[in-house]
């Protein structure tokens, strides 16, 4: 014999039938059918007004749609979305609130529903990402604490010319300081751009980059390249991410995605036209594009120049008296105890110093940074990661040079 299936509608009809037959007082009928007195009164009122047919479930839709977007608001949203096809609901609302502060705007979820209904958005898959193996050395707490630099990745303009945008941003404000198309990634193309930025905006405390050319050299002592040596002479820390971990420079990488969407696809007809497009996009990014991580403020609101000026002349570093100072020759060698010792060709022409350590070995230093350790007995050079030494106190040798 099959199980007896009782629907909710059948239970309501049975309750109304028992009440019509006066089988028991209402309170007892409620207990028998497992409902409250309030529920019983509700269905009795429905039965009296519409009979058995009114015992069916009614629609739960709102009688009034006060939360719908009015036509004028929807038109403003559609217009901005058409002009900014890669902006999401939060960024669209942030920009419209700045442009029309007198209006009342719907929630971001409501705007998202509007974009979805009208086919103006599509779901974006977000792959899971493991946390970084280590935190970046510099966590910016103010403008110019850390800049970031990288190459977008090359493409060709419509006339076949190679274009590789070189970008520099402030890590705290996300302000884009430079977005310039270069032919090849090299120190000869990057250093003049950085020099102009340093002269115009002052010096940052650190420059975060990857480990590729021209920012680092995998065979160089301490990963030094010609460019990173130049940065050290300006007392700018080369804040390199771990190899294979672009997520440690995620802010910059995310900006590159926006650059590609807004200013590189499709490429312009010529390289000058592409550069003009990149510069217009940079200005727009800094002044008009709200940033969620900045509380929907634009980068230009938080950006300010650095108080550290670019020095017209880089002063020679004064090492403490117990350091043995050596000049690096054109091939990257110094003479130590009448024997040639190879350091790095990136240091040619610079002065380094060997400082005694408590364990008897020698620390090889360049200005205020440790590069490696030289063994006392085996005279072996043990490479180590670049490390900043303790800065000289005021009045000690090297203090004036450290401030400049």
Question: What is the DSSP code string of 29-79?
Answer: HHHHHT--HHHHHHHHHHHHHH-GGGGSPPP-S-SS-TTSPPHHHHHHHHH
More confident residue, 237 or 193: 193
Q: What does the pLDDT look like over 269-297, one tens digit per residue?
A: 999 999 999 999 999 999 999 998 899 99
Mean pLDDT of 389-397: 41
Q: What does the pLDDT look like over 13-22, one tens digit per residue?
A: 888 888 888 8
Q: Which of 42-46, 101-105, 162-166, 241-245 has the lowest mean pLDDT?
A: 241-245
> What is the Cα–Cα distance from 220 to 240, expressed in whole angstroms?
14
Alpha helix ranges (H) inside 51-183: 71-83, 89-99, 108-117
Mean pLDDT of 81-86: 87
Residue-level pLDDT at 122:
73
- pLDDT range class, residue 1, cuts 50, 70, 90: low
In degrees rounded to 5, what are phi and psi of residue 357? -105, 165
Does the pLDDT of residue 394 top 50, yes or no? no
Q: What does the pLDDT look like over 119-148, one tens digit per residue?
A: 887 766 554 444 443 444 567 889 999 999
Q: What is the pTM of this model?
A: 0.69
Residue-level pLDDT at 399:
35
- pLDDT range class, residue 401, cuts 50, 70, 90: very low
């Amino acid at each position: 014999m099959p199980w007896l299936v009782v629907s909710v509608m059948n239970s309501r009809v049975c309750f109304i039938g028992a009440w019509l037959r006066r089988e028991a007082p209402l309170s007892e009928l409620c207990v028998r059918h497992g409902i409250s007195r309030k529920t019983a009164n509700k269905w009795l009122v429905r039965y009296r007004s519409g009979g058995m047919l009114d015992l069916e479930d009614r629609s739960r839709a709102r009688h009034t749609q006060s939360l719908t977007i009015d036509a004028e608001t929807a038109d403003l949203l559609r217009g901005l979305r058409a002009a900014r096809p890669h902006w999401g609901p939060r960024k669209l609302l942030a920009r419209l609130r700045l442009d029309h502060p007198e209006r009342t705007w719907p929630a971001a979820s409501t705007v998202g529903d509007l974009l979805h209904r009208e086919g103006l958005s599509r779901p974006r898959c977000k792959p899971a990402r493991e946390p970084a193996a280590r935190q970046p050395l510099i966590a910016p707490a103010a403008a110019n604490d850390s800049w970031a630099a990288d190459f977008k990745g090359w493409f060709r303009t419509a006339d076949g010319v190679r274009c590789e945008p070189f970008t520099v941003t402030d890590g705290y404000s996300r302000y884009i300081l430079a977005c310039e198309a270069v032919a090849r990634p090299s120190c000869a193309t990057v250093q003049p751009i950085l020099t102009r930025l340093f002269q115009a905006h002052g010096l940052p405390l650190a420059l975060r980059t990857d480990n590729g050319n021209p920012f680092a050299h995998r065979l160089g002592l301490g990963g030094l390249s010609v460019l990173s040596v130049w940065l050290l002479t300006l007392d700018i820390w080369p804040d390199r991410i771990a190899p294979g971990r672009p997520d440690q420079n995620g802010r910059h990488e995310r900006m590159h995605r926006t650059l590609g969407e807004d200013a590189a696809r499709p490429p312009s007809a010529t390289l000058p036209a592409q550069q003009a497009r990149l510069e217009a996009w940079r200005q727009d990014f800094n002044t008009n594009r709200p940033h969620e991580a900045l509380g929907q403020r634009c980068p230009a609101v938080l950006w300010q120049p650095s108080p550290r000026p670019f020095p017209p002349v880089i002063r020679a570093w004064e090492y403490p008296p117990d350091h043995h100072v050596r000049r690096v020759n054109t091939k990257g060698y110094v003479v130590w105890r009448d024997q040639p010792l190879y350091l790095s060709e990136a240091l040619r022409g610079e002065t380094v110093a060997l400082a005694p350590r408590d364990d008897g070995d020698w620390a090889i230093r360049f200005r205020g940074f440790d590069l490696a350790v030289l063994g006392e007995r085996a005279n072996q050079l043990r490479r180590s990661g670049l490390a900043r030494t303790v800065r000289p106190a005021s009045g000690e040798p090297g203090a004036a040079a450290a401030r400049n």
